[in-house]
Amino acid sequence: MATENDGLNGVAMLFGRLLTNSASGFSDVRTYWSPEAVKAATGYDLEVPGMIHLINSGATTMDATGAMTIDGKPAMKHFWDITESDVQAALKATTWCPANNGYFRGGGFSSRFFTRGGMPITLARVNRIHGLGPVLQIAEGYTYAPPKEVHDILDKRTDPGWPTTWFVPRLTGKGAFKDVYSVMANWGANHGAFNYGHIGADLITLASILRIPVCMHNVDEDKIYRPSAWAAFGMDAEGADYRACANFGPAYK
């Protein structure tokens, strides 16, 4: 379920759910934290080149706790592989805080957890551009877990009653992925959907089938497959993607 009636992020959640057969997480792409800012706020030297605070007002799938494991590593499992012990582990990793009355005037509770680090995830978002139509953004990376005392300080800068996933995108050194700040600066909205694993190549192929151009990604070129007809639209892969999608038109209207 997409928060705040964000149907476009709901579409990205649907794509991820169908491609992975596991849950999709919905989050605000809320804050960029540089190593310098973390040091100033907490005194801690960050081991990564920056991180993005993925957090949502009240709910994110509890699969994203990372409490489930595959080969001893945190994971979000296929729905048919989730056991009762997995369910209990995810519940144990989640607390239920009184809802922020500024957001939820009727009260209730918010789920709160702190995602385990080292889990490969892909963040995606569908945006709708006036005069162009839908475009897809993709960022592959990993979850990161700073020390609990550092997390607690940073978490209070937003809302300590909400579920947090610290995300470190894989950088390429150029364009939107030259650094972590640039990833967030180029993100098209304040929401994103994330799924377990690096599924960017699958998302790109799916988008080509649906005639949705991809405006931003950090997928290795040798992993990308688009229909061979895309080659007729030029040698610049991303520009050719836009031209091919415009030429062939949407698969569904």
Average pLDDT over residues 131-145: 97
pLDDT in tens, 160-192: 889 999 999 999 999 999 999 999 999 999 999
For residues 160-186, one letter each, b for 16 or more C-beta atoms within 10 angstroms of the residue's C-beta and e for the rest, the string is: bbbbbbbbbbbbeeeebbebbebbbee
Q: Does the pLDDT at position 4 exceed 90?
A: no
Average pLDDT over residues 191-202: 98
pLDDT band at 2 (very low <50, low <70, confident <90, very high): low
Nearest CA to 139 out of 183, 179, 174 is that of 183
Residue 99 is predicted with a pLDDT of 83
Residue 35 is predicted with a pLDDT of 98
Q: How many helices (H) and strands (E) does the chain have?
A: 7, 11
CA distances from 58 to 109, 110, 134 (A): 7, 4, 28
Higher-scoring residue by pLDDT: 2, 93: 93
Provide the mean pLDDT of the chain: 95
Active site (catalytic) residues: 4, 28
Q: Pairing relation of β-strands 95-98 and 133-144?
A: unpaired
Nearest CA to 214 out of 133, 130, 142 is that of 133
Q: Does the pLDDT at position 251 exceed 80?
A: yes
Residue 54 is predicted with a pLDDT of 97
Q: Does the pLDDT at position 239 exceed 80?
A: yes
Higher-scoring residue by pLDDT: 118, 5: 118
Q: Does the pLDDT at position 3 exceed 80?
A: no
Where would I find the H helices in 129-233? 148-155, 180-185, 200-210
pLDDT in tens, 201-228: 999 999 999 999 999 999 999 999 999 9
pLDDT band at 1 (very low <50, low <70, confident <90, very high): low
pLDDT in tens, 61-116: 999 999 999 999 999 999 999 999 999 999 999 999 888 888 777 888 889 999 99
Q: Does the pLDDT at position 253 exceed 80?
A: no
pLDDT in tens, 13-70: 999 999 999 999 999 999 999 999 999 999 999 999 999 999 988 789 999 999 999 9
Domains, the chain, ordered by start = 3-220 (3.20.14.10)
Residue 91 is predicted with a pLDDT of 97
Query: How many whole angstroms separate alpha carbon 117 and alpha carbon 146?
Result: 8
Tokens representing 48?
Answer: 């990564």
